[in-house]
Amino acid sequence: MVKTYSKNQLERYPVYLKVLREMREEGERFSASSSIARRLGYSEEQVKKDLAAVSPTLGTPGRGRDISSIIEDIETFLGYREMTSAVIVGVGRLGSAILDYPGFADMGLDIVAGFDSDPAKIGTNINGREIYDVSRLSEIMPGLKAHICIIAVPSAYAQSVADMAVKAGATGIWNFAPTHLSLKKGVIVENVNLASSLAVLSHRIKTNLKED
């Protein structure tokens, strides 16, 4: 009887959070599933189910849910209220964009160090995070107590970086390289695949045009 959450469902929670915070900014105190659904283009039933699945705080029939409570419940569910350490490998343009983005801290993700192979970058500091030689990954990572490795290196190096990271204790890989990684069971890989995202966009546009 353990609750399970599909990938799609998990992806919706940060979206709810965003909208609920907006509603709170606008001065609302309570929100009905129907109003959230309308804003997001979701069905009302889906919103009800999704929120009930993570919120022990019950809603009030006739009035809706207390916005601050759901925000808190979603934040707790998503792990935003405790910090997890991560390292990033590859601090090129994309990697430094990630390091520079302040939002991850609010999501409970603390990127504590960076690694790169470029001598010009090694020893520097990006946003207070030291950049080390990637060859020292397995030496340094365990001491940082980081179990998430963000991979932002070119495709060709991604698999070997992932292998090193797993040896150094990574249980989760956030892969920004446009390539598939094979890792032993038990290691979670989440891919940010722009080619896939673009495929969806292009196909939808094409299909949409044909309909007219």
Q: In the complex, which residues of this chain contact DNA (CB under 7 A)?
A: 4, 6, 8-9, 31-34, 42-46, 48-49, 51-52, 55, 58-65
Asked if residues 127 and 102 have their Cβ atoms less than 8 Å apart, the reply is no
User: Helix or strand or coil: residue 83?
Assistant: coil
Q: Which is nearer to DNA, 7 or 93 (CB)?
A: 7
* CB proximity list for 208: less than 8 A, separation 6 or greater: none
Would you count residue 128 as binding a copy of itself (CB under 8 A)? no
Phi-psi region of 140 (alpha: psi -120 to 50; beta: other; left: phi over 0): alpha
Residue 96 as a binder of a copy of itself (CB under 8 A): the answer is yes
Backbone φ, ψ for residue 183 (5° rounding): -135, 160
Residue 13 is a binding residue for a copy of itself (CB under 8 A): yes
Binding partner of 14, given a copy of itself, DNA, none, CB within 5-8 angstroms per partner class: a copy of itself
x/- letters, 140..179, toward a copy of itself (CB under 8 A)? -------xx----------------------xx-x---xx
Cβ–Cβ < 8 Å for 175, 191: yes
- Contact between 196 and a copy of itself by CB under 8 A: the answer reads yes
Closer residue to a copy of itself in complex, CB, 10/58? 10
Task: Give the SS3 label for residue 120.
Answer: coil
Which partner, DNA, a copy of itself, none, binds residue 52 by CB below 5 to 8 Å per kind? DNA
Residue 37 touching a copy of itself (CB under 8 A): no
User: Minimum distance between the CB of residue 72 and a copy of itself, rounded to whole angstroms?
Assistant: 16
Alpha-carbon span 23 to 152, nearest angstrom: 35
Our CA angle for 86, 94, 77, nearest 5°, is 40
